Amino acid sequence: MKDETTWRTMCEDLYKWKEGDTVPHSWRDYYHYSPCVPIDHSTLAGALKVACALDATGTSLEQRHCVRVLLRPGKHFVKEAISIQSIGRTGISIETMELPQDTLTPPDVQQDVAPMDDKEPTRKALKKRAATLRKRLSCRSIRTMDDFDLDELVITESEEEPLAAPPRLVRASIVLKTRRHNEPIVRVRHGTIRLTNVALVHNSVGLDIWNGNSAIQIQPLRADERPSTILNRPAAFLDRVDVTSKSGRGIVNIDGGYTSIKNCYVHDCAATGIYVGGPGSDAVIDRTDVVRNGGGNRHRRGIARGHSGIYLEQGTARVRDCNISRNSLSGISAVSASNAILSLEASDLVANGTVQLEMPPTGSVSRRRSLARNNIVAVRGMPRSRSGLADEEEEEEEGREEQQQEEEARGV
């Protein structure tokens, strides 16, 4: 089929292109390199293969063409990490499709996603448990969180409430279902990935939170792994991304990687929310909520409680207009005396476990090059949500409960 008019019509009908977008040179190529899941391909992995070819060794795939993968709202499972190894200026983009308000989510997708506007069950809902087998069997909507916590059943509707029409979903969720050890959802080795308006739900077997047990791992190839050709610095750009990991860290950027995190919600990770380490690593974090991280998990030989919201071991981090609160250990820690440059502005650091803000050691090179200004730093209080992804009512209720527990513990 060579008729460009037909290809344009197909792009419009599948919402790959709308009025106001840049007009492509070839509608056929635009359609091909903007695969829609599950329309053009049944899985996310299959959609990414349109950009791939074997590398020089003939053993692994690398991306050689720019691809924009469009995910229908709903839940999309991956069995192994999405590996980004793009060449030249090639970039990979994964985003939720923008559908008209009157477009319904397909029934098969709706069944895989919990209600409540495509978000994970609230912390309040997670506290509810069915007392008897009869109650469990009578629930109208029950779902398990993951393969490792099959005993956690979530009640999303009461028995008295009538069945309602399923809500319109607005976001695609990428969920890792794997038996591989220390496997991230996204691994960037060289090249660029852009994630827009998606949720990442991570859970992996293993304890290596430096090398894989995280939702996103940004780490260049080791010297012995690099080919003779010059490779681009690994980079990840996140916008309106919901990140959680039940087994490890949320985002790991090490050994010279770059990440831009804007309007994101990094929450309820077993270990650190955002970790930056290694010389040359850079992180820019704007209008983002980093909350309730570092609580550990109940996996057998799992991650112990006691991690920070943001941990800057080495590299640079610019944090502006963010909410870093109610994390298990510290809100933000910058530890290297010689190579941990922190810029923190207009942010809330409230009700973190031990320390709200740990700056580099006094008198060190890192301390002289770091700054913190116009921030709210408090042991107790109600921080302001920034991302727009967090449920503000739920956050406020959780904050009030924690504050009440602290007052009861002090005998107030």
pLDDT digits (tens, 9 = 90+) for 97-126: 988 876 655 544 443 433 334 444 455 554
**Mean per-residue pLDDT, 23-44:** 92
Residue 134 pLDDT grade (very low, low, confident, very high; cuts 50, 70, 90): very low
**Mean per-residue pLDDT, 40-67:** 75
**Mean per-residue pLDDT, 189-210:** 93
pLDDT at 394: 66
How many of the other CB atoms lie within 10 Å of CB of 278? 17
Residue 325 vs residue 145, higher pLDDT: 325
Task: Name the token pair of 76.
Answer: 């999309």
Residue 73 pLDDT grade (very low, low, confident, very high; cuts 50, 70, 90): very high
Residue 54 pLDDT grade (very low, low, confident, very high; cuts 50, 70, 90): low
Residue 128 has pLDDT above 90, yes or no: no
Residue 400 pLDDT grade (very low, low, confident, very high; cuts 50, 70, 90): low
Residue 301 vs residue 13, higher pLDDT: 13
Residue 264 maps to a domain: yes
How many of the other CB atoms lie within 10 Å of CB of 116? 13
Whether residue 290 contacts residue 332, with contact meaning beta carbons closer than 8 Å, is answered with no
Residue 235 maps to a domain: yes
pLDDT at 340: 97
DSSP 328: S
Residue 198 has pLDDT above 90, yes or no: yes
Residue 91 pLDDT grade (very low, low, confident, very high; cuts 50, 70, 90): confident
pLDDT at 166: 55
Residue 343 has pLDDT above 90, yes or no: yes
Residue 391 pLDDT grade (very low, low, confident, very high; cuts 50, 70, 90): confident
Residue 404 pLDDT grade (very low, low, confident, very high; cuts 50, 70, 90): low
**Mean per-residue pLDDT, 6-17:** 92
Residue 159 maps to a domain: no
State the Cα–Cα distance between residues 26 and 238, nearest whole angstrom.
28
Taking all residues of the chain, what is their mean pLDDT, rounded to a whole number? Answer: 82
pLDDT at 276: 98
Residue 292 maps to a domain: yes
Burial 292-306 (b: 16+ CB within 10 A, else e): bbbbebebeebbeee
Residue 27 maps to a domain: no
**Mean per-residue pLDDT, 65-90:** 88
Q: Are strands 142-144 and 153-155 parallel, antiparallel or unpaired?
A: antiparallel
pLDDT at 305: 86
Task: Name the token pair of 137.
Answer: 């069997």
State the Cα–Cα distance between residues 218 and 367, nearest whole angstrom.
26
Residue 183 pLDDT grade (very low, low, confident, very high; cuts 50, 70, 90): very high
**Mean per-residue pLDDT, 28-42:** 92
Task: Name the token pair of 66.
Answer: 């720019």
pLDDT at 303: 81
Residue 14 maps to a domain: no
Residue 304 pLDDT grade (very low, low, confident, very high; cuts 50, 70, 90): confident
Residue 195 has pLDDT above 80, yes or no: yes
Residue 397 has pLDDT above 50, yes or no: yes
Residue 156 has pLDDT above 60, yes or no: no
pLDDT at 297: 81
pTM of the model: 0.80
State the Cα–Cα distance between residues 137 and 95, nearest whole angstrom.
36
Backbone angles phi, psi at 49, to 5 degrees: -70, -15
State the Cα–Cα distance between residues 323 and 376, nearest whole angstrom.
10
pLDDT at 280: 94
Residue 167 has pLDDT above 90, yes or no: no
pLDDT at 217: 97
Residue 147 has pLDDT above 50, yes or no: no
Task: Give the range of the structural domain holding residue 292, as residue numbers without chain letter.
Answer: 38-98+168-410
Strands (E), 123-267: 142-144, 153-155, 172-176, 186-190, 192-196, 198-202, 214-218, 235-239, 242-245, 249-254, 258-262, 265-267
Total count of domains within the chain: 1
Residue 128 maps to a domain: no
Residue 409 pLDDT grade (very low, low, confident, very high; cuts 50, 70, 90): low
Residue 182 maps to a domain: yes
Residue 408 has pLDDT above 70, yes or no: no
Residue 166 vs residue 28, higher pLDDT: 28
